[in-house]
């Protein structure tokens, strides 16, 4: 006898009831197979064949409502075009994908209202969890983070008593590594091009620069400090302002985008890098290796911070009762051509050339 004609729902889409009737099994059995819970080999075969015959497509929304899981994780950063966030995002996505989830990325522009609005939207449970990397942290942030109905991990600095999973680095120490290196190569007029001081990284890097100079006994010269934004154009403009009033023999830049802007400003001004001005950036992104000369830069472990944040988030999703965790990724200076040379000897005064000088002890020695 032929199969009984099935009555489809009003919108024409096959349902679990449709699949169960076609397979000749109970609705409960069909539902278990379609949701991956299992069944006997014969039941699984029948249900899968029936689903293929009727063109059944699982309703992801309904399934997420039943399981209280969406299969989505969000990442919120200031600027998705910044290479440091690109490296972080790639590492996070790899971990998230290994758990069968997908990553949604939000660009906040560093605006507090955008970040807190995203955190409030978590009440709708549109994702299973979120990783956020704010450059400014306010009381409103902390309240929204603490009250979040889904797990949140912060990449960046938080207060020691904040009850939130946190992955951080020590950019203050990172700046100190840069200054130590420049002093070791003979530099003393060391300038600093920073981002906004009302941001967490800007304030930390400013404090690190000042402390490092003091430790080396180098007087602080405000003429050698300039503040702009964490972007290429702002970094270039800030360096131009600094060069118009001061004569540095080295520059530390608060990130690689600023450092690239600084490099271009120096070259346009006729300053050789590193012979006249040594240059060190921060973040050690792909940009540092793409420039000529290649940029020395302090790695803050962007990819590693992203990987650890994603792992903490997945652990928190699996077990909400875990105590708050805090992990730290140490900075590391990577020296390249932009600062590798020691400070050259002063150029000779211009004038008529004198007689050649011979150095018998140097005969046969080549440079």
d(CA 190, CA 119): 41
**pTM given for the model:** 0.75
CB burial readout 67-100, b (16+ within 10 A) else e: eeebebbbbbbbbeebbbbbbbbebbbebbeebe
DSSP string, 168-227: EE-HHHHHHHHHHHHHHTT--SEEEEE--TTSHHHHHHHHHHHHHHHHTTPPP-GGGEEE
Token digits for 261? 């802007």
Token digits for 138? 């306010």
> Taking Cα atoms as reference points, which of 354, 54, 329, 343 lies closest to residue 171?
329
158 neighbors 327 (Cβ within 8 angstroms): no
d(CA 254, CA 199): 12
Which pLDDT score is estimated for 357?
36
Which pLDDT score is estimated for 69?
65
d(CA 338, CA 297): 9
d(CA 136, CA 29): 52
134 neighbors 115 (Cβ within 8 angstroms): yes
What proportions of the chain, in percent to the nearest 5, are helix, strand and coil? Answer: 45, 15, 40
- Sheet containing 332-334, strands listed edge to edge, beginning at the edge strand earlier in sequence: 225-227, 190-194, 250-253, 278-282, 296-299, 332-334
Low-confidence ranges of the chain (pLDDT < 50): 1-8, 61, 63-67, 349-367
User: What is each CA distance from 242 to 263, 272, 275, in whole angstroms?
Assistant: 13, 16, 18
> Taking Cα atoms as reference points, which of 304, 212, 288, 278 lies closest to residue 256?
288
d(CA 1, CA 185): 92
Which pLDDT score is estimated for 204?
96
How does strand 250-253 pair with strand 102-107?
Answer: unpaired
Q: At 102, is the secondary structure helix, strand, or coil?
A: strand
Which pLDDT score is estimated for 159?
84
d(CA 46, CA 20): 9
Backbone angles phi, psi at 239, to 5 degrees: -65, -40
């Amino acid at each position: 006898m032929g199969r009984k004609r099935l009555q489809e729902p009003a919108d024409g889409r096959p349902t679990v009831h449709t699949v169960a009737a076609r397979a000749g099994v109970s609705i409960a059995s069909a539902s278990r197979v379609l949701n991956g819970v299992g069944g006997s080999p014969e039941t699984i075969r029948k249900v899968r064949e029936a689903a293929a015959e009727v063109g059944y497509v699982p309703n992801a929304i309904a399934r997420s409502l039943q399981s209280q899981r969406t299969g989505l994780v969000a990442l919120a950063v200031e600027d998705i075009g910044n290479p440091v966030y690109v490296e972080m995002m790639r590492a996070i996505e790899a971990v998230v994908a290994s758990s069968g989830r997908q990553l949604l990325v939000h660009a906040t522009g560093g605006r507090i209202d955008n970040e807190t609005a995203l955190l409030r939207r978590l009440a709708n449970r549109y994702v299973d969890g979120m990783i956020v990397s704010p450059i400014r942290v306010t009381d409103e942030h902390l309240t929204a983070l603490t009250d979040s109905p889904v797990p949140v991990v912060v990449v960046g600095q938080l207060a020691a008593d904040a009850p939130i999973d946190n992955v951080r680095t020590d950019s203050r120490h990172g700046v100190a590594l840069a200054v130590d290196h420049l002093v070791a190569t003979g530099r003393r007029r060391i300038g600093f091009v920073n981002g906004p001081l009302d941001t967490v990284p800007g304030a930390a890097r400013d404090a690190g620069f000042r402390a490092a100079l003091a430790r080396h006994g180098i007087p602080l010269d405000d003429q050698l400090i300039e503040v702009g934004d964490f972007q290429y154009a702002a970094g270039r403009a800030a360096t131009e302002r600094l060069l118009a009033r001061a004569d540095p023999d080295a520059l530390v830049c608060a990130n690689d985008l600023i450092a690239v802007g600084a490099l271009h400003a120096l070259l346009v001004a006729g300053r050789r890098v590193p012979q006249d001005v040594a240059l060190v950036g921060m973040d050690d992104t792909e940009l540092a290796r793409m420039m000529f000369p290649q940029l020395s830069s302090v790695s803050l472990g962007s990819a590693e911070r992203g990987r650890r944040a994603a792992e903490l988030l997945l652990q928190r999703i699996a077990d909400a009762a875990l105590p708050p965790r805090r992990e730290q990724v140490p900075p590391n200076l990577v020296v390249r051509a932009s600062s590798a040379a020691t400070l050259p000897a002063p150029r000779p005064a211009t004038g008529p050339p004198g007689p050649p000088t011979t150095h018998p002890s140097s005969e046969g020695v080549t440079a």
